[in-house]
């Protein structure tokens, strides 16, 4: 494992690129307050791809937005976002603007709504260059052309004049990546960058991100619900449920041996498919029963307990903490030892 620190315990002495400590995002609404991100502790190392997975509504996107303080009232974010010896949650807005979009960039989930429909693609790239780089005005256009070429858009000089609606879904996603990379960031936050794309374009986007990661030496936090994407791209994986991290594990070990009942449920829900093609072994899908709990009324103890086949009375007494159970992983399941002999759950393999 490349390194992870949780609640003060160090698994590696390697310096972290980003460290989240007790990160919380609480929303106060007319129907009552709820916690969308509940005490998240995560570490990202230099040059690492960390996958953040879980069902819709588990808090993945809010976690990314909390890092850059993009959660607006009635949301309140607390905790620590340690970035280069400074806590981003305490920075004045003027200093944070230099980090946001400069040192840390974000690819949003839906490019059609994230891109400005009344500005050309070229204008949206050059305004980022103007804000976060020292390029002279005459050089920004040339750099914008280079960026579109870098992300694989044909005839980049001509396409700079086009507007988002003139791009296909895959091209809009590539344009979003070009904007995010304009400042040569050290960290890229990618919120489901391949959602709604066909598998061919999805594969191209993922390979592009990995190639750019190696070229620029940046770290990536990749939010996805697709375990196939995780198998292809991630070094480590953090599994999230009801706003909490329930397991952190190297990607190579995730598919062989989950050590949290929720992770096991996610893997059992994946059709029999390998990274190289259909599996030769047929097996029935085993869906997770029930639905995720309301964040306004979480059950006592383990939030996954009402849906878990391994639950016992002990699970309902107190919330299990995320703790190291081996040199390579962390789990918040008190019955993690019972899952140790479940065998190879799914045949997805890490293949880039």
Q: How confident is the model at residue 341 (pLDDT cuts 50, 70, 90)?
A: low
pLDDT grade, residue 35 (50/70/90)? very high
Q: What is the pLDDT of residue 195?
A: 75
Task: Work out the pLDDT band at 246, boundaries 50, 70, 90.
Answer: very high
Question: Which is more confident, 138 or 89?
Answer: 89
- Judged by average pLDDT, the poorest of 104-113, 264-273, 289-298 is 264-273
What integer pLDDT is reported at residue 277 of this predicted model?
A: 40
Gap between the Cα atoms of 315 and 302, Å rounded: 6
Q: Domains along the chain? A: 5-103+187-205+214-339 (3.40.50.300), 117-184 (no CATH)
Higher pLDDT, 278 or 249: 249
pLDDT in tens, 113-138: 889 999 999 999 999 999 999 999 88
Residue-wise burial string across 304-332, b where 16 or more C-beta atoms lie within 10 A, e elsewhere:
bbebbebbeeebeeebbebebbeebbbbb
Average pLDDT over the chain, rounded to whole? 86
Q: What is the pLDDT of residues 49-68, one digit of tens each?
A: 999 999 999 999 999 999 99
**Quick one: average pLDDT of 134-161?**
92
| pLDDT value at 227 more than 80 | yes
Does the pLDDT of residue 6 top 70, yes or no?
Answer: no
Mean pLDDT, residues 190-199: 82
By percentage, how much of the chain surpasses pLDDT 70?
Answer: 89
- Give percent of the chain above pLDDT 90: 59
Q: What is the pLDDT of residue 81?
A: 97
The pTM assigned to this predicted structure is 0.88
pLDDT at residue 205 in the model? 82
| Arithmetic mean of pLDDT, 152-176 | 92
pLDDT in tens, 308-338: 989 999 999 989 999 999 998 999 999 998 8
């Amino acid at each position: 494992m490349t390194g992870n620190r949780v609640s003060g315990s160090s698994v590696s002495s390697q310096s972290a690129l980003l460290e989240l400590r007790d990160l919380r995002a609480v929303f106060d609404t007319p129907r009552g307050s709820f916690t969308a991100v509940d005490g998240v502790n995560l570490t990202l190392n230099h040059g690492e791809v960390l996958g953040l997975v879980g069902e819709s509504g588990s808090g993945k996107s809010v976690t990314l937005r909390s890092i850059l303080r993009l959660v607006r009232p009635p949301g309140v974010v607390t905790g620590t976002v340690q970035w280069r010896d400074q806590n981003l949650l305490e920075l004045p807005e003027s200093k944070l603007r230099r980090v946001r979009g400069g040192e840390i960039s974000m690819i949003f989930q839906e490019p059609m709504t994230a891109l400005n429909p009344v500005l050309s693609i070229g204008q949206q790239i050059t305004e980022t260059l103007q804000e976060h780089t020292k390029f002279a005005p005459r050089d920004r256009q040339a750099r914008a052309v280079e960026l579109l070429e870098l992300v694989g858009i044909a005839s980049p000089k001509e396409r700079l004049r086009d507007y988002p609606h003139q791009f296909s879904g895959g091209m809009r996603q590539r344009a979003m990546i070009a904007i995010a990379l304009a400042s040569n960031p050290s960290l890229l936050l990618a919120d489901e960058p391949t959602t709604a794309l066909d598998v061919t374009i999805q594969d191209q986007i993922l390979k592009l991100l990995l190639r750019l990661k190696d070229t620029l030496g940046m770290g990536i936090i990749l939010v996805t619900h697709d375990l196939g994407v995780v198998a292809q791209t991630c070094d480590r994986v953090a599994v999230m449920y009801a706003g909490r991290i329930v397991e952190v594990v190297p990607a190579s070990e995730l598919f062989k041996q989950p050590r949290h009942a929720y992770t096991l449920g996610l893997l059992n829900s994946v059709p029999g498919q390998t990274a190289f093609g259909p599996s030769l072994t047929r097996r029935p899908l085993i869906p997770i029963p029930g639905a995720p709990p309301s964040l306004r009324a979480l059950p006592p103890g383990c939030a996954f307990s009402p849906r878990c086949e391994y639950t016992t009375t002990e699970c309902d007494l107190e919330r299990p903490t995320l703790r190291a159970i081996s040199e390579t992983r962390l789990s918040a399941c008190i019955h993690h030892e019972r899952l140790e002999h479940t065998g190879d759950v799914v045949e997805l393999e890490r293949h880039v």
